[in-house]
Structure 1
């Protein structure tokens, strides 16, 4: 694996751990695709640093479990009248 990829993987993982960010937010912050972030965290990170991978995976699992709630809130806000 190239050095710049390893650096990015560790930076993304650290960002997710510190901010409890979603994959989408991390991808937008680092200017890469969601697929790249997902592959970085699930495949590359465990080979580089298993302990950090475990921490990041726990956060992503929580985000995944809560995403239906966030989606419902976003839809509610979208259709809520402005004056209500």
Structure 2
């Protein structure tokens, strides 16, 4: 693995762990695709730092479990905004 990839993997993983960010949020911050972030933290991180990989996996599982709630909130806000503009 190239050094710049290894460094990105560790930076993204630390960001996700410290801020409890989603894959989408991390991708936006680091200017890479969601697929890249996902591959970095699920595959590459295991080779670089297995302990950090386990911690990040827990954050990702929590985010996945709450994904439907965040989606519902976004939809609610969208329709409230539309209602106000009528």
Q: What interval of TM-score do these two structures reach, taking the shorter chain for normalisation?
A: over 0.9
Structure 1 segment 15-34 matched on structure 2, within 5 A: 15-34=15-34
- Equivalent residue number for residue 42 of structure 1: 42
Matched, 1:82 2:57: no
Q: How many pairs does the alignment contain? A: 83
Kindly indicate whether residue 53 of structure 2 is the aligned counterpart of residue 69 of structure 1. no
| TM-score scaled by length of structure 2 | 0.94
Tell me, yes or no, if structure 1 residue 4 matches structure 2 residue 14.
no
Q: Secondary structure at the match of 2:21?
A: coil
What is the deviation of 1:82? 2.5
Q: Deviations over 1:21-68 (max 9, x none)?
A: 000000000000000000000000001000000000100000001000
Q: Distance in 2 between matches of 1:48 and 1:56?
A: 13
Structure 1 unaligned segments of length 5 or more: list them. none
